Amino acid sequence: MKTIKKRATLYALGLVLLLVAIFLATIIQDKKKVLNEKTTAHRALLRNSFELSILDTQKGLREFACQLATNREIVDAFASGDREKLYLLSLPYFKEAKRRGDVDVTGFVSANGSHFLRLQDPHKYGDNILKKRPMLAYAIQTKKPITSLDVTIYDVAIVNIIPIFKGNTFIGILQTVAKIDRVQQRLNAHSGIKSAIVFDTNKLSLVIPEAKKITYQGFSLVSSNDPLFSHLPSNYAFNTSNRYTIDGRNYIIASRSLTNYKDDTIAMMMCAFDITDDVIDYNKEIRNLIIISILLLTIIAFILHYGFKILVQRISRDADTARKLNLQLEHQLYTDNLTSLPNRNALIRDIQTNKFYALMLLNIDNFKEINDFYGHEMGDETLLSLSKSIKSALHNLPMNLYKMPSDEYAIALIEPMTLTKLETTRQSIVHHIQSKHYNLQGASIYVTFTMGMDISKKNNAKSLLANADMALKAAKKRHLSYTLYDETMQIKQEYQNNILWSKKVKEAIEQKCFTLHYQPIFDTQSGEVIEYEALIRIVDRDGSIISPAHFLPAAKQSRLYSHISQFVIDAIFNMLEKTPHRYSINLSVDDIFDAPTREFLIHKLSTTAHGNRLIFELLESEGIENYAEVSAFIAQVKQFGVQIAIDDFGTGYSNFAHILKLDVDILKIDGSLIRNLDTDTNTQTVVLAVTEFSKRLGIKIVAEFVHSEAVYNKCKEFGIDYLQGYYLGEPKPL
């Protein structure tokens, strides 16, 4: 017995040794994963810090340019050609912006392309450098604002150009410039990120002939704010983001392309972040882990020697418990709690593993009425009695019965059967079930069914459930008791829906059946309504209200969408004249690109004094990335005091760099992110990040789909500015 115990102990000790080794390897792997995750986070920090620094610099240039361009005296001096007055009026603004670090160079360029005034060098004027600076020529030609990177006499710089008009007359442009080292200074000050500007060596002589440079692997470093860029490791690759060791310290080094207004790459910025402390912590943790593992192995060896018998007994007992638990969980997974029949999960499993020749889905027609009239307890008793009745109808038939969710059952044919016999059997089953009534608690309950069926063909056995469900829905919609799946059913149904809704939309336009419902948006802090969102509806002939989800897709396909848009615009401007509220309306890219709709909207804005109570919600969709036209539209409507919001933010082309190019005031976080905000930690992380970034950029946040108290409280906790949803207020007529 001692020999057996000794041998067992040795075997167990060897097993423990192996487990400790595996444990050690797993922990080390986890630590590596943590280090890699930190590295990934640092890469994200590099990327986000770079974009934010660019945006901060652009914002400073825009704000400074707007100060000058909106000063009537400055515009008048420029228009009249009074250079001395223009200089005296603009200089204080220039000095203040330069003191803040927002600008390095500012100049007024006449409409003919000649420099009228350089604030940093007022004695130099009259020259024309449009051939050297295509961006200036493009701005004068298009008369549209541009913010982009460009190569100037100051190497790479961020350039902001806005057109200046005297009345309707274009008199020239205002150029504000910040050297790229402004971005580098922000990177270093805010996030400790070192940076350098890199040019393709072959192109450098063309753009900056006299630049001082360090050539490396076909690239030239022309400026940097840290010595580490002067001796990069031999394995450094410019086009990848990796971890490198330089002078005994560890860095994440990544390159970011610097593109001009044509999206051509003019240079690259190398960004480096010191992660030495993370690597030191990682090595220290691994060393401590090895020491702890050795001590742990020694302790286990002693414990194992005296506790082997108890350990074996416990493992045996735990194994029995686990086996019973697995059986219990499997039963719960594949069995309906009420009827004890196999459930939908069991049906999906059996379809994958067994041969089914046909599948019927039965749906109780009047089950909701039974629940509403008699109560849910009576509804459960009805389902139990019905299950017994269906099982009785299937007695001696090669069919399996499954209880589907709610008030549905599934019957699977498990042996071949001719179509004639199958139809006879189906009718017999339905007759058997529907010919009975159930006496429950003194009440007689009759049940009728709607059935959809699919017969297995050569290659569609796996799609039996989906096809039978489609047949069931078709039967319900057509008010039939039974429908057999047909391959053309889905296509025909889609065509019928499009034709039906196109006709209904056309009738609504002709008969003026459209109306607006208004959903309130509340201030989180004060609880007061700050605006109403206008939502289109159709009032049907029977007085029922139809949601736009049903008719807008058909309206777009049938080219009736612009009629709906113009109705909304006209109705909301009438409300502006009659009420004191602020309103928001949804605009798609199609509305902006449609000339009649756009002209109608601008005309309405030009004839009202209430544009400052209007918000346009731009829908994220394909086409919003067409910044030139969208930005021009935004700039035009903002002259009337209109605010711009991005609707459904978080679902489409959500990108802070892109959004800020559109100069928006409000972001509306999509309901798919807000819906589970109180329980989903990943969603909370995303929403919190959006909120914090938006606050830094001065953009207000609206949370859509606030449907419960828990979501409402979480939104308040996150500091979201405004709230909208059915928990606070439903859309309805004012």
Task: Considering only residues 479 and 650, tell me which one the structure prediction assigns the higher pLDDT.
Answer: 479
pLDDT score at 709: 94
Where does the pLDDT of residue 13 fall: very low under 50, low under 70, confident under 90, or very high at 90 and above? low
Cα angle: 692, vertex 146, 137; to 5 degrees: 165
The pLDDT confidence band at residue 189, using thresholds 50, 70 and 90, is: confident
Find, among 202, 212, 175, the residue nearest to 267 by Cα.
202
pLDDT over threshold 60, residue 653: no
CA 641 to mean position of chain CA atoms: 29
Q: Is the model's pLDDT at 210 over the cut of 80?
A: no
Which residues share a beta bridge with 152?
155
What pLDDT is recorded for position 309?
61
- Give the span between the Cα atoms of 465 and 361, in whole angstroms: 8
pLDDT for 703 equals 94
663: left (phi over 0), alpha (psi -120 to 50) or beta: left
Q: Which residues contact 225 (CB under 8 A, 6 or more apart)?
A: 181, 184, 185, 188, 194, 195, 196
Q: Choose from 571-585, 638-652, 689-703 the range with maximum mean pLDDT.
A: 571-585
Angle at 671 between CA 665 and CA 677, to 5 degrees: 105
| Full DSSP string of 73-115 | HHHHHHHHT-HHHHHHHHHHHHHHHHHHTS-SEEEEEETTSBE
CATH number of 497-723: 3.20.20.450
Residue in the structure block whose two tokens are 């609206």 = 702
**pLDDT at residue 509 greater than cutoff 50:** yes
Secondary structure letter of residue 60 according to DSSP: H
Most confident region among 40-44, 375-379, 525-529 by mean pLDDT: 525-529
Q: What's the whole-model pTM score?
A: 0.38
Q: Where does the pLDDT of residue 732 fall: very low under 50, low under 70, confident under 90, or very high at 90 and above?
A: very high
Dist. CA 139–CA 597, nearest whole Å: 27
What percentage of the chain has pLDDT greater than the value 70? 85
Instruction: Considering the domain delimited by 344-487, tell me its CATH architecture.
Output: 2-Layer Sandwich (3.30)
pLDDT digits (tens, 9 = 90+) for 28-71: 777 667 767 766 776 677 678 778 888 888 898 999 999 898 99
pLDDT value at position 105? 92
pLDDT digits (tens, 9 = 90+) for 88-139: 999 999 999 999 888 989 999 998 989 999 998 899 998 988 888 888 889 8
Closest by CA to 172, choosing from 159, 162, 184, is 162
Q: What is the mean pLDDT of residues 175-204?
A: 77
DSSP structural state of residue 227: G
- With a cut of 80, say whether residue 584 has pLDDT above it: yes
pLDDT score of 491: 47
**CA-closest candidate to residue 341, choices 394, 379, 378, 414:** 394
| pLDDT-derived band at 616, boundaries 50, 70, 90 | very high
- 358 or 332, higher pLDDT: 358
Reported as a pLDDT band with limits 50, 70 and 90, residue 306 is low
Q: Convert the pLDDT of each residue in 712-722 to its tens digit.
A: 999 999 999 99
pLDDT of residue 160: 93
At a CB cut-off of 8 Å and minimum separation 6, what does 293 contact? 20, 23, 24
More confident residue, 438 or 171: 171
Give the model's pLDDT for residue 12. Answer: 66
pLDDT tens for each residue of 212-221: 556 666 677 7
**Contact at 8 Å (CB) between 189 and 156?**
no
Please report which confidence band the pLDDT of residue 327 belongs to, taking 50, 70 and 90 as the band edges: confident
With bands split at pLDDT 50, 70 and 90, how would you rate the model's confidence at 456? confident
Question: Residue written as tokens 């701005």?
Answer: 139
**Which residues have C-beta within 8 Å of that of residue 694, sequence separation ≥ 6?**
667, 700, 701
Overall average pLDDT of the 676-690 stretch: 89
Q: In the predicted model, what is the mean pLDDT of residues 322-343?
A: 84
Average pLDDT of the chain to the nearest whole number:
83
pLDDT at 311 over 70: no
**Helix spans in 579-731 (H):** 589-593, 595-606, 627-638, 656-661, 671-674, 681-696, 709-717
d(CA 433, CA 386): 8
Domain boundaries in the chain? 2-36+281-333, 344-487, 497-723
Alpha-carbon span 697 to 695, nearest angstrom: 5
Mean pLDDT check: name the lowest of 271-285, 487-501, 540-554: 487-501
Q: What is the pLDDT of residues 214-258, one digit of tens each?
A: 666 667 776 677 777 777 777 776 666 677 777 778 888 877 777
